[in-house]
Amino acid sequence: MGKKKKIPAYSYDESLEMLAKLQQMAIDEGNINLALKAEELKCKIASALADKTYEENKDDLTKILVDFINDKHNCKNTEDLCAAFDDEETL
């Protein structure tokens, strides 16, 4: 069995651009089914990109949330997050 030819991966932007071109070709030919499929795939790529972006920024978002909570409880740093609730009277 021969080696399979490796297809280069597209970036998110390249994939969206290619699907936009294919979608326009489908529209020009009057093929609404293919145009809708291209739109569906563009939405899936956009969703995957949003998920990836969220995962990459999740730690930053967590730090922002922790800092916000600490500011509300007048804590000095993120290690004091639960310090304001250590005594049972506060709970």
Which tens digits make up the pLDDT trace of 53-90? 777 766 776 677 777 777 766 655 555 555 444 455 54
Characterise 44 by phi-psi region: left (phi > 0), alpha (psi -120 to 50), beta (else). alpha
Structure tokens at 44: 């899936």
Q: Is the pLDDT reported for residue 20 higher than 70?
A: yes
Residues with Cβ < 8 Å from 23, sequence gap 6 or more? Answer: 34, 35, 38, 39, 42
Distance separating alpha carbons of residues 68 and 79, to the nearest angstrom: 13
Asked if the model's pLDDT at residue 23 lies above 60, the reply is: yes
| pTM of the predicted structure, to 2 decimals | 0.51
For the chain, what is the mean pLDDT?
76
